[in-house]
Structure 1
C-alpha cells in the first residue's frame, strides 16, 4: 500500500552531501565548473563526499548500471548522508530501476535527492514506491555560477528551510546558455521575458492545489503503466489527494511530444489531477506553418482535458526553473501579471 511521501528534514551546517552520477558523470574539461559547485556547497557549511562515479563518463553514462545502482543505493541508505546530489541528468538512469531496492528505501528515513532531467526517472519512483519527497530543480552543476539568479537561488531555502516555501515566476529566461568549458563561472544569460500562460488562452486568475509530481517527459513517459510510473494507481491511494502534474520536454520533436502526452493520458495519469504545468520548450528551429509546432502538440494532446493547463512554466531545460518538491502539497496562484507558488504541509 502506498503511503504519502515523506519530506526529508531541512539541511543544516555540518551535514554531509554525497555526489554521485547515476546517469551521466563529469568529463575532465568540466572539472573547473564542478569544483565551483562543490565550493558553493561548502560555503553553506556542508561537507562533501565524492562517489566513484562522479568524475567518469563513457557511452553516455558514468559507469555500468550495476555499479551506478549500487553506489546510489548505498548513499541513499547511508545514515551519515543528508543529501545526494548528482551533477546533472543524462540518458540512462532508467537502467537502474530494476536494480534498486525500493522496499529498503521505503523503510529508511528520506534524504534529499536533487536535480532534474533524467534524474526525474529516479525521483518519480522514489515518490510513488518509496514514499520519498525529492527536489526537482537546479542541478548541482548550475550552482557553480559566480552569482545565481533569484529563481535558481531558491534551491537554498528549499533545502535548508521548513515550511512555508514561497517562489514567484522568473522575470527573464535563457534562450542560449554559456559554455561552461570556457566560462566555468558563468551564470545565466537571461534575456527573454517570462510569461506563464493558460493553454486555453484565458485571463481569469487560477488557484491550483495538489501534490506536485512529474518530471521530464522524455523519460517519465516511458515509465507510464509500469511499476515505476503508476501515477494513476498512486493518485487513487488514501492520503494522496489531488495531484498537480508538472511536465517538461528536453529533446522531443513535436509529434513525439504529442505521443508522450497521449501515453500519459491513456495510462490515466491526468485522472484526479488538480491541474497541469508544462515547462517552456528549449528553443528549436522555426517550424513551417504546415507542420506541427511544440505548442500545437501540447494543445492537440491536452486542450480537451477538463482541468486547467498552464504552459511556458519555469520548469526544465529552458532555465531558470523553480525548485519543486516531488510529492509535496502546493498552492499555485496564477494571473496574467503574477505567479506565486507555495509549498508545504500547511497548504
Structure 2
C-alpha cells in the first residue's frame, strides 16, 4: 500500500484544533489554553474550531457541525495538522459524513491523538491511505515539562520523512487514567515500574517487524465488519511487509474484552500477523480468583497465536504512551530489560 506521510511540521505551520468527539467543558478551558500555548511556544500558529469549548450530551456539537468543521480542516491546504483535545464517545456519528474517498486524492496532514479518535484514524489510513498518529492527545501536551515518552511525539511530527524514529519503553507509568485539574500544568504521576510482557510467559528477547495498524479496541471492535473497519485490503496490500496489530482497552471488562477479541479473530484479523501489541488496560479487573480476569481474556482469545503477543505496552489510557503511526513500517524489539519500537516515518 502506498501510504502517504504528511510533511514534517515546521515553525509557522498552522495547527487546527477541533473536537470531533467530546468537547472541553468550561472548567477545563485553562488546561486547554496551556496546551495551546505550548504549541505556540514551539512556533506554530493555531486555529480553534467552533466545535471545541463546549460539551453537551457527550459531544462538542451536533454531528453535522462536527463533521463539517473536521472536513473543512482536513481539506484546507493551509492546515498542516489537526490535534483534537482528546477523544470521547461519539465520533462514530461522523463516519458517514466524512468523504474518505475525496481525502484519498488530497495531500495528507497529521491527525493526532488516541481513544475515540481511533474511529477516524482507522479509515483515514485504510481508506484514504493517510499515515495517522496514535499518541498523546493535545491535553496531554499542556504540561510545563513532558516526560521522555510523551515528548517523543515531537520527534515524529518534526523530523524529516523517511527518518528512523526509535522509542523506548517507559521507565514508569501512572497507575490510573489522567484526571486534569482545572488549571494544572502538571505532567503525569509516573510511579509504577513499567514492564512489557510476553503473553506466552517467555522472557527471552523477541523481535518482529511490519506495518502498524490499530487503536482503541473499544472502537475498533465496533468498526470491524463495516466499510470503515476493513482490515483485509490493508493486509493484502501490505502482505510482503507483514502487519503489526496494536490495541488498548479502556472500558471493557474481562468477559466483554474476550468477546471483542474473539469477534476480531473470527473475522480473520489475527491471521498471518507479524506481531500484536496490547497496551495497559484502563478497565477494572476482577479480583476473585474463580472469575475470568483480564489476563484470562487475553489468553483465551490470543494465547495460541503463532505470532508474538506483547502486553502491558506503553499504549493508551494509562500513561505515558509511545507514539505509533498507522501505516508506518516498524520493528519491535522486546527484552526484559527494556523494549523498543523503531518506525520509519
TM-score (norm 1): 0.96
Aligned counterparts, 1:312-327, within 5 A: 312-327=312-327
1:66-89 deviations in Å (ceiling 9; x for gaps) = 111111111011000000010000
CA drift of 1:269 comes to: 1.2
- 1:280 aligns to what? 280
1:120-141 deviations in Å (ceiling 9; x for gaps) = 1100110000000011000000
2:19 matches 1:21: yes
Distance 1:199 1:238, change over 3 A: closer
Kindly indicate whether the alpha-carbon contact (under 8 Å) linking 2:211 and 2:238 is maintained by their aligned counterparts in 1: no
User: SS at the partner of 1:119?
Assistant: helix
2:279 matches 1:298: no
- 2:236 aligns to what? 236
Q: Distance in 2 between matches of 1:125 and 1:61?
A: 21
Distance 1:238 1:206, change over 3 A: closer
Q: Distance in 1 between matches of 2:327 and 2:86?
A: 21
- 1:51 aligns to what? 49
Q: Distance in 2 between matches of 1:278 and 1:232?
A: 20
User: SS at the partner of 1:71?
Assistant: helix
User: SS at the partner of 1:338?
Assistant: coil
Q: Which runs of 5+ in 1 are unaligned?
A: none
CA drift of 1:312 comes to: 0.4
Kindly indicate whether the alpha-carbon contact (under 8 Å) linking 2:275 and 2:309 is maintained by their aligned counterparts in 1: yes
- 1:223 aligns to what? 223
Q: Distance in 1 between matches of 2:107 and 2:248?
A: 29
Distance 1:269 1:283, change over 3 A: closer
- 1:95 aligns to what? 93
User: SS at the partner of 2:189?
Assistant: coil
Kindly indicate whether the alpha-carbon contact (under 8 Å) linking 1:174 and 1:319 is maintained by their aligned counterparts in 2: yes
Q: Distance in 2 between matches of 1:237 and 1:276?
A: 19
CA drift of 1:17 comes to: 0.1
1:92-149 deviations in Å (ceiling 9; x for gaps) = 0111111110111000000000000000110011000000001100000001112111
CA drift of 1:340 comes to: 1.3
2:201 matches 1:201: yes
Distance 1:283 1:147, change over 3 A: farther
Kindly indicate whether the alpha-carbon contact (under 8 Å) linking 2:195 and 2:312 is maintained by their aligned counterparts in 1: yes
- 2:265 aligns to what? 265
Distance 1:252 1:178, change over 3 A: closer
Q: Distance in 2 between matches of 1:207 and 1:304?
A: 18
1:297-339 deviations in Å (ceiling 9; x for gaps) = 1111100111100000000011100011111000111111121
RMSD across aligned C-alpha pairs, in angstroms? Answer: 1.3
Q: Which runs of 5+ in 2 are unaligned?
A: none
CA drift of 1:262 comes to: 0.8
- 2:30 aligns to what? 32
- 1:66 aligns to what? 64
Kindly indicate whether the alpha-carbon contact (under 8 Å) linking 2:286 and 2:294 is maintained by their aligned counterparts in 1: no
CA drift of 1:272 comes to: 2.6
Distance 1:179 1:238, change over 3 A: closer
Kindly indicate whether the alpha-carbon contact (under 8 Å) linking 2:286 and 2:292 is maintained by their aligned counterparts in 1: no
Kindly indicate whether the alpha-carbon contact (under 8 Å) linking 1:211 and 1:240 is maintained by their aligned counterparts in 2: no
User: SS at the partner of 1:62?
Assistant: coil
